[in-house]
Amino acid sequence: GENVEQHPSTLSVQEGDSAVIKCTYSDSASNYFPWYKQELGKGPQLIIDIRSNVGEKKDQRIAVTLNKTAKHFSLHITETQPEDSAVYFCAVIGSNFGNEKLTFGTGTRLTIIP
Amino acid sequence: DGGITQSPKYLFRKEGQNVTLSCEQNLNHDAMYWYRQDPGQGLRLIYYSQIVNDFQKGDIAEGYSVSREKKESFPLTVTSAQKNPTAFYLCASTVFSGNTIYFGEGSWLTVV
């Protein structure tokens, strides 16, 4: 099955700096790559996603890049703010049509230092 | 409001008891999922259902059971066979498999 690795597991950055979280996956036919933000005691919220026919996608301070050849994708948060502190999960949907399911990375706890 | 509603938010189970977690969605989504999250850990898939009256086991289905009698409902039963049920349980849904998946707010289950 699909294997997703996420790094780093914890990340602390000064407010205003950028944060980058990276995920690698094993199934070269995977085609959908969402990122979720989870605050304590709440369900994950989708913040951005990318499909395999696109190399980069931006939404204000958040961007995701995808390198299909190397089988990795990254979340970039610029001009970080205290409210960005949370746990971030990457996920991958595999290629088994009709039987797709999300496989999640293990999460990155991001702390923004004021 | 449209969304995914999980209940109860907090549930305590005595050893040997079965408990059922409710998940209802009014988004007209086809597929629904149950995930388990242990403290400081990622999400692991328990069961998922792509259509009414059909569901498949995920990676950690042992000790759990589900039903999908209605499109909007996907309850999860944690049976006494689940030896370590204390965790945060998340329900999710999507329009069709492979599209954006949305999560409910979760249910905390604790064994006492």
**Among A95, A101, A96, A92, which Cα is nearest to A35's?**
A92
Q: Which residue has the higher pLDDT, A14 or A103?
A: A14
Give the residues of chain B that fall short of pLDDT 70: 1-2, 97-98
Nearest 5°: the CA angle B7, B11, B12 is 165
Closest alpha carbon within chain A to B90: A43
Q: Which chain B residues contact residue A91 at CB under 8 A?
A: 101
| Tens digit of each residue's pLDDT (9 = 90 or more) over A45-74 | 999 999 888 899 999 999 999 999 999 999
Cβ-contact A85, A112 below 8 angstroms: yes
Q: What is the model's pLDDT at position B103?
A: 95
Q: Do A104 and B43 touch (CB under 8 A)?
A: yes
B85: contact with A, CB 8 A cutoff: no
Measure the CA dihedral B70/B95/B87/B10, to 10°. Answer: -60
First to last CA, chain B: 34
Smallest Cβ–Cβ distance between A106 and the set B33, B41, B108 belongs to B41
- Flag whether pLDDT at A1 surpasses 80: no
A97 burial via Cβ count (<10 Å: 0-12, 13-18, 19+): exposed
